[in-house]
Amino acid sequence: MNVIIDKDTTDIAMEESVISPRFYTTNYKELDKIDVNRVKDEWDPLIEEMRSDPNKNHFKKTADWDHFDFKDLEPGLRKEFIDFLVSSLTSEFSGCVLYKEMKRQETNQDVCELFAMMARDEARHAGFINDALREANIPVNLGFLSRKKKYTYFSPKFIYYATYLSEKIGYARYITIFRHLEKNPESRFHPIFKWFEEWCNDEFRHGEAFSLLIRTDPKLTSGINVYWIKFFLVAVYATMYVRDHARPEFHKALGVDIDWYDDKVLRTTTEISRQVFPIEIDHDNPAWTKGLKRVNNAMLFFAEGKKTKGPIGAFKRFFGGLRLGIAFVRLYLIPAKKNKVPVSSRLQPSY
């Protein structure tokens, strides 16, 4: 086997950091109490659409894959592309593991059926990405990952907020790349990007489901929970910004300016999130972009400290962590815009 990366992909997927994808567990008994009757008119058509399994035959490799070799990529691009694939796989597989466990633990038939179908979709996504890695003999050991990766406990409402945003931002990321490469096919350096349009529609449907789950309980979008919604908006958006700016060669190869791409993705996600959240990020406030850059710079300083040994490294980690915390708080304190949530929340993937 030709070694094309310095680290095993399973080790990369196992890494724990502020911005790495996580595995979650929750209070399954509380989830079992969900009553979808409040949103039944929108729930039933969505469930029927998911039962039809629109992407049942989508995730199959074609002859295009035979003409790609990871070794043909420049080392910097190869490293960042593999990091992108492993990070995406870990996120997809995290959803699969969580949804499968939700289905296993619960007796609520509405919820069980939903999570079974979402686990089905996420398993396909993770497996398809792993096929891309397998082409280079560097697949992630998913069984080991599910057994050994650290699990983070979130209460159900935090699962709703975080996963809703994860699914919708995933849609926005994939569709933005797909639309860009439609216009610039010469920048499509791997065939996997051709699958992104139908793929991201799965993400969109999953986000629709979590939007409805949130709307089953009005308390989840009122009172103190509005502050939690803002926390997750800021945290998820800032995490994406930092991750993307760590992959300059990847975005250069796609022919995408990172700042343009992130702004486009985050604005799209905000537009979609108006279906359920009573507040939204004010992207036109100059402090927002400055704040994201401040968070990224603090993260770079902190990461440098992790690479440095001795007292200097310890200082950089402490000061970097402090800078990161302050930068996040400043970003959080930027006033959000109020949003009037519509009576009907269902949207279609028309971006």
- What per-residue confidence (pLDDT) applies to 3? 53
**Cβ atoms 216, 43 nearer than 8 A:** no
Locate all alpha helices (DSSP H) within 155-219, ordered by sequence. 156-183, 196-215
| Residue type at position 232 | F
| Cβ contacts of 45 within 8 Å, gap of 6 or more | 346
- What per-residue confidence (pLDDT) applies to 131? 92
- What per-residue confidence (pLDDT) applies to 1? 39
Mapped onto helix, strand or coil, the DSSP state of residue 280 is strand
Nearest of 55, 160, 146, 53 to residue 100 by alpha carbon:
146
Query: How far apart are alpha carbons 46 and 55 in whole angstroms?
Result: 15
Report the length, in residues, of the chain. 351
Domain-wise residue ranges, the chain: 22-279, 282-341
Mapped onto helix, strand or coil, the DSSP state of residue 22 is coil
Q: Beta strands 23-25 and 279-280: pairing type? A: unpaired
Q: How far lies 340's CA from each of 172, 239, 280, 307, 345, in Å? A: 22, 26, 10, 46, 12
Could you read off the pLDDT of 214-244 as tens digits, one per residue?
A: 999 999 999 999 999 999 999 999 999 999 9
Joined together, the tokens standing for residue 71 give 């070794």
Residues of the chain with pLDDT under 70: 1-6
**Cβ atoms 264, 101 nearer than 8 A:** no
Q: How far lies 292's CA from each of 22, 180, 266, 334, in Å? A: 21, 24, 12, 11
Mapped onto helix, strand or coil, the DSSP state of residue 241 is helix
Q: How far lies 102's CA from each of 49, 82, 137, 330, in Å? A: 21, 30, 32, 36
- What per-residue confidence (pLDDT) applies to 2? 47
Query: How far apart are alpha carbons 319 and 307 in whole angstroms?
Result: 14
Nearest of 22, 6, 213 to residue 115 by alpha carbon:
213
Query: How far apart are alpha carbons 202 and 167 in whole angstroms?
Result: 9
* φ and ψ at residue 200, rounded to 5 degrees: -70, -20
Q: Which fold has domain 22-279?
A: Ribonucleotide Reductase, subunit A (1.10.620)
